[in-house]
Structure 1
Amino acid sequence: MSLFENIKMALMSVKAHKMRSILTMLGIIIGVAAVIVVVAIGQGGEAMLKSQIAGDGNTIEVFYQPSEEEMQQGDWEQNPFTSDDIRELEKLDKVTNVVASTSEYSTVRLRDESTDTSITGINQAYMEVNKLDIAEGRGFTSADFLGGRRVTVVSAAMQEELFEGKSPIGEIIRVGVQPVEIIGVLEKPTGLFAFGSVDTYLPWSAMRNMFGTNNYSQVTLEVGDTDDLKPTGEQATEVLNRLHDTEDSYQVMNMEEIAAGIGQVTTIMTTIIGSIAGISLLVGGIGVMNIMLVSVTERTREIGIRKSLGATRQQILFQFLVESIILTLIGGTIGILLGSGTAYLVSFFADWPSLISWQVVVGALVFSMLIGIVFGILPANKASRLDPIDSLRYE
């Protein structure tokens, strides 16, 4: 009997026992779908997390690490970056933007309403590099920064908190006791990792006048090419340590390296959880073996007739092995479709990329076939060893 005839017989057997076949394939379907969903969610979440942490992969955060002696004496700056530092960093060859900011926590009031907020004084490059888009009103202009105008751009959460969703443009709020005019509202962040925090942004010159802040607390460098990250970071720390007469208090943090480390952790977790989900494939394989043993028992007379007509042991074994493989392949295919659809829905609602790896899909299909072979050998071998005389007498 040819392979095509064996496949045809296997499909006829599956069709003849629809409910039993579906229940048998259920373990394979769930197992394959679970593995694909887990891996797709893991890879998609990793990509989203890395993009949010590392941005476009061409930024370096500069930070200040006080020495042990400074820590013990309490003689260290909370806002360690001066305006002179920023100007010197902007002179570096490969630096395209220097993002500087200072943050404070304060209470914002609108008449009788108030809320706690993070007040961030920013320089002109901040909003562009951090991709803070305006949903309503306008952003800061050069005149706002140069003139120290008391104007602010607020987050969407601030609009909901103080204005109940109404337009706040032109309203005067009090940051602490200082009056500030709202000129813009940021777009509401989206995605699973998007948090609607209540934020208020001011030109740094305005924040300096309002809070008496002379220095910056955070500095990030943007370079044109990721290959320039390391040398530019080394130049930046050398300049800052020289300006402040320190050895290595100023250091750099490559966000791309941090994202790579997070990627390793998420890959390990995805592998572990995916392996656990893969256990259901083994359970499904046991179900296939069980139903194939039942099928062999039910078709004992058929096996006896085939053997009496000249069918060899290898042909009987191959017939039931093909049937087992077909059963698991159908289950695996349905599982792939179900898993891919579920992964797409999750990525759609979570607003992250749907990364369904073709390697995982092919691996799941091959693994399903291997399960059919491994767990089909015992029933197929049992069928091939049946004595034709005893089989014909079987009731």
Structure 2
Amino acid sequence: MSFMENMLMALSSLKAHKLRSILTMLGIIIGVGAVIIVVAIGQGGEAMLKSQITGPGNTIEMFYQPSDEEIRANPNIFQQAPFKQEDIRALEQLPEVKQVVASSTTLSAVRYQQDTADVSSTGINQAYLKLNQLKVEKGRNLSTADFLGGRRVALISNKLQEELFKGKNPIGKIITLANQPIEVIGVLEKPTGLLAFGSMEVYLPFQTWKIIYGSSDFTQVTIQADSAEQLQTAGKKAAKLLNRMHNTEKSYQVINMEEIAQGVGQVTQIMTLIIGSIAGISLFVGGIGVMNIMLVSVTERTREIGIRMALGATRGQVLTQFLIESMTLTLIGGILGIFLGWGTSEIVSFFAGWPSLVSWQVVLGGVLFSMVIGVVFGILPANKASKLDPIESLRYE
């Protein structure tokens, strides 16, 4: 008997017992679907987490960690901004550096009419705006003229609009920062994603920020290299340059956010593997259900097996028939489970705000694994069927 004939017989047997076949496949469907959902959401969450940590490409965060001698010499050193304007100009001259993103942040009280709120007030340079791509929901973004002219204009976060303006349109309204009037020209889009936390923020051109708060230094500096290959070189040169300019040894250092993201990615991969393994237990349970129902099928079809063997069917042919039937049952369940997992992961990812990464390797693995389950858990029933005595089988009632 050919493979196709065995396949047709298997489909005919499953069709004859529709409800039983569906209930048996349900365990495989849920198992395969659960594994795909966990892997897809895990990989999507990992990709989103990495992108949130690293930000735009080819960037390195610089930080300042004073030595013990510096701290003893100046106990208030942590209250001072570590980067000066001449530092930014010097970093921009490095051949490997594409641009230097600089900003200063301070906690401040903002007032509109009779209402006040505590905000994070950030002065940014134009490179910051280019790299971080602050997206405006209402009004307009900061322009080159705003930066060059030090205009008293600001962007505010969506959360601040809700708190200070009670959801009303704030464009053109005047707010007060450090007793200085500032015009609101834009409202930023509401943040989405894994690390999206609504916070109350105000963004100003750095020249404006400097005038309001009386400080010309920067608290955060990020350098962007021309290419990924130059990233490490740019970081080393930048740290060496700043340490030389400030007469320090290793106080100025760099943080490669991509390395941190890789470490975080390894943690998420382990968590995905663990949770995926737990979800895989349902596949094992489904396989037991397949074995159970195939044993019932062998018992019900004892006379049929006896007739086939009396007509010349070999033990191997009977074994193959029941193995193919078991594989067909799990294969159909696996395919349906793939569609279930794919659809569910897309829905979950849509509401969670991160991509659903269903790779072809996962889909292929789901199909092959379900077929393997059919073989493994179908061997015992198939072997039992092939060992039946033809004469005793024909007498079976």
Q: Report SS of the residue matched to 2:82.
A: coil
Report the counterpart of residue 30 of structure 1 in structure 2. Answer: 30
Aligned equivalents of 2:231 and 2:53: distance in 1?
Answer: 16
Aligned to 2:162: 160
For 1:168 and 1:40, how far apart are their aligned partners in 2? 41
What is the letter of the counterpart of residue 64 of structure 1?
A: Y
Return the offset for 1:315: 1.1
Which of 190, 199, 217 is the aligned partner of 1:197?
A: 199
- Contact 2:56/2:131 (CA < 8 Å) preserved in 1? no
Change (3 A) 1:75 1:115: closer
Read off the aligned partner of 1:366 and give its amino acid letter: L
Q: CA deviation at 1:71?
A: 4.2
TM-score by length of 2: 0.96
- Whichever residue aligns with residue 187 of structure 2, its letter is V
Q: What SS does the corresponding residue of 1:125 show, helix, strand or coil?
A: helix
2:55 — aligned with what? 55
Q: 1:324 aligns with which of 323, 326, 330?
A: 326
Q: Cα distance, 1:281 vs. partner?
A: 0.8
Secondary structure at 2:98 match in 1: strand
- Distance across 1 between alignment mates of 2:194 and 2:290: 39
Report the equivalent of 1:283. 285
- CA drift of 1:294 comes to 0.5
2:123 counterpart of 1:105: no
Contact 2:178 2:212 in 1 (8 A): no
Partner of 2:245: 243
Give the counterpart letter for 1:261 in structure 2. G
2:133 to 131, 141, 148: 131
Partner in structure 2 of residue 209 of structure 1: 211
User: C-alpha displacement at 1:75, in angstroms?
Assistant: 4.9
Write the letter of the residue equivalent to 2:27: G
Q: Check the 8 A contact 1:31/1:277 in 2, yes or no.
A: yes
Contact 2:48 2:194 in 1 (8 A): no
Q: How far 1:143 sits from its partner (Å)? A: 3.7
RMSD of aligned residue pairs (Cα, Å)? 1.5
**Alignment match of 1:299 (pick from 290, 298, 301):** 301
Find the aligned partners of 1:351 and 1:316 in 2 and give their Cα distance: 52
Q: Distance in 2 between matches of 1:24 and 1:152?
A: 62
Partner residue, 2:64: 64
Counterpart amino acid of residue 13 in structure 2: S
Amino acid at match of 2:59: T
1:305 is matched by which residue type in structure 2? I
Q: Match of 1:185, as an amino acid? A: V
Cα distance in 2, alignment partners of residues 176 and 79 from structure 1? 19
Partner of 2:384: 382
5+ unaligned residues in a row in structure 1: which ranges? none
Displacement of 1:346 after TM fit? 1.9
Secondary structure of the structure 1 residue equivalent to 2:77: coil
Deviation of 1:192 after TM superposition, in Å, equals 4.1
Partner SS, residue 197 of structure 1: coil
Percentage identity across aligned positions? Answer: 65
On the 8 A contact 2:56/2:132 being kept in 1, the answer is no
Partner in structure 2 of residue 364 of structure 1? 366
State which drifts further: 355-364 or 131-140. 131-140
Distance 1:68 1:379 in 2: 74
Deviation per residue, 1:163-203 (Å, 9 max, x gap): 23222111111124322211222222233432221110112
Q: 2:177 aligns with which of 175, 186, 192?
A: 175
1:58 is displaced (CA, Å) by: 0.9
* Distance in 1, Cα, partners of 2:90 & 2:356: 43
SS at match of 1:184: strand
Query: 1:388 is aligned with what amino acid?
Result: P
Distance 1:325 1:310 in 2: 24
Q: Deviations over 1:120-168 (max 9, x none)?
A: 1111211111110222222223443344332211112212222232221
Greater CA drift, 233-242 or 112-121: 112-121
**2:77 maps to which residue?**
76
Q: In structure 2, the residue corresponding to 1:92 is in which secondary structure?
A: coil
Q: Determine if contact 2:60/2:257 at 8 Å carries over to the other structure.
A: yes
* Contact persistence 1:57–1:255 (CA under 8 A): no
Residues 264-275 of structure 1 mapped to structure 2, 5 A cutoff: 264-275=266-277
| Corresponding residue pairs, total | 395
The 10-residue stretch of structure 1 (86-95 or 142-151) with the greater mean CA deviation from structure 2: 142-151
- Secondary structure of residue in 1 paired with 2:342: helix
Aligned to 1:310: 312
Equivalent position amino acid for 2:77 in 1: W
Aligned-partner SS, 1:136: strand
Residue matched to 1:349: 351
Compare 369-378 and 341-350 and name the one that shifted more: 341-350
Give the TM-score normalised by the residue count of structure 1: 0.96
Offset at residue 211 of structure 1 (A): 1.9
Classify the secondary structure of the residue corresponding to 1:173.
strand
Counterpart contact for 1:119–1:201, Cα < 8 Å: yes
Structure 2: gaps spanning 5 or more residues: none
Within 2, Cα distance between the matches of 1:75 and 1:310? 96
| Deviation by residue 1:34-71 (Cα, 9 ceiling, x = unmatched) | 11111111111111111122123211111101113334
